[in-house]
Amino acid sequence: MSSLNSPFPLWYRQPFKATYITLRIIALVTLLPYWTLYNTVSNRPRPSWTLKESVVVCLIRWLMPLNATCGLSPLCTDKTREVPQEELRETSFVWIEPAESSVIRGPAKDEKVAPVRIPGYI
């Protein structure tokens, strides 16, 4: 039985991991007001960013190590959907086509893995 289908919650199977995730999320209670005040008083990373955008960037930077450290990943990201240009402010959406099979060599060449196009932002 895989750990995803286990009848026991995360804190029974991996108590240290659950504690780390819980403490990291609880720390946001104190960090969110700090980030808001910091980005209100000092210069934002980009002058064109709103306060909300600046705080969200801090939030993302704080939460991203959870994925690398604990193996959490958002399953809701749809990599097949094109983002309309009106939803983007400072970027443009493009499709990045896969490399041609003639340029794929060495360990990257595998019959079980098919190249696909991926979304990109410029």
The Cα–Cα gap between 59 and 32 comes to 8
- Looking at this protein, which amino acid is placed at residue 38? Y
Mean pLDDT per 10-residue segment, the chain (122 residues): 53 78 87 90 81 90 80 64 83 88 82 82 86
Alpha carbons within 13 A on the beta-carbon side of 80: 1
Q: pLDDT by residue (tens digit) across 78-110? A: 777 888 888 888 888 889 998 888 888 888 788
**Is the whole-model pTM more than 0.85?**
no
87 residue type, one letter:
E
Q: Which two tokens stand for residue 41?
A: 């008083």
